[in-house]
Amino acid sequence: MKDVAAHAGVGLKTVSRVVNGEPGVTPDTERRVQESIESLGFRRNDSARVLRKGRTASVGLVLEDLADPFYGPLSRAVEEVARAHGALLINGSSAEDPGREQELALALCARRVDGLIVIPAGDDHRYLEPEIRAGVATVFVDRPAGRIEADAVLSDSFGGARAGTAHLLAHGHRRIAFIGDQPRIHTAAERLRGYRAAMEDAGARIDDSWVSLGSTAPERVRGALAAMLDAAEPVTAVLAGNNRVTVTVVRHLAARDRPVALVGFDDIELADLLGITVIAQDAAALGRTAAERLFRRLDGVREAPARVTLETRLIPRGSGELAPAD
The answer to the question of residue 26 lying near a copy of itself (CB under 8 A) is no
**Cβ atoms 210, 175 nearer than 8 A:** yes
In Å, how far from its chain's centre is CA 52? Answer: 29
Applying CB under 8 A, among 3, 22, 35, 201 the residue interacting with a copy of itself is 35
Applying CB under 8 A, among 269, 306, 309, 313 the residue interacting with a copy of itself is 269
- At residue 286, φ and ψ (nearest 5 deg) are -60, -50
User: Beta strand 313-315 with 277-280: parallel, antiparallel or unpaired?
Assistant: antiparallel
Q: Which stretch binds a copy of itself (CB under 8 A): 170-178, 214-222, 268-276, 289-297?
A: 268-276
- For 130, left (φ over 0), alpha (ψ -120 to 50), or beta? alpha
CB of 170 to a copy of itself, least distance (A): 26
Applying CB under 8 A, among 52, 112, 174, 220 the residue interacting with a copy of itself is 112
Identify the sign of the CA torsion 91, 94, 96, 101.
negative
**Cβ atoms 21, 11 nearer than 8 A:** no
DSSP letter at 120 equals -
- Whose Cβ is closer to a copy of itself: residue 70's or residue 195's? 70
Candidates 264, 265, 202, 260; CA nearest to 234 is: 260
What track of x and - describes contact with a copy of itself for positions 42 through 61 (by CB under 8 A)? -------------xx-x---
- Whose Cβ is closer to a copy of itself: residue 108's or residue 224's? 108
- At residue 299, φ and ψ (nearest 5 deg) are -80, 5
What track of x and - describes contact with a copy of itself for positions 230 through 259 (by CB under 8 A)? -----------------x--xx--x-----
Applying CB under 8 A, among 16, 29, 40, 76 the residue interacting with a copy of itself is 76
Please return the burial class of 206, using the count of CB atoms within 10 Å of its CB with bins 0-12, 13-18 and 19+. middle
Helix spans in 40-110 (H): 46-51, 71-84, 98-110
The answer to the question of residue 88 lying near a copy of itself (CB under 8 A) is yes
Applying CB under 8 A, among 16, 40, 49, 95 the residue interacting with a copy of itself is 95
User: By rule CB under 8 A, what count of residues binds a copy of itself?
Assistant: 42
The answer to the question of residue 111 lying near a copy of itself (CB under 8 A) is yes
The answer to the question of residue 273 lying near a copy of itself (CB under 8 A) is yes
Please return the burial class of 275, using the count of CB atoms within 10 Å of its CB with bins 0-12, 13-18 and 19+. middle
**Cβ atoms 90, 58 nearer than 8 A:** yes
CB of 262 to a copy of itself, least distance (A): 13
- Whose Cβ is closer to a copy of itself: residue 58's or residue 209's? 58
CB of 71 to a copy of itself, least distance (A): 8
Interaction site with a copy of itself (CB under 8 A):
31, 35, 39, 55-56, 58, 65-69, 72-73, 75-76, 79, 83, 88-93, 95, 100, 103-104, 107-108, 110-112, 247, 250-251, 254, 268-270, 272-274
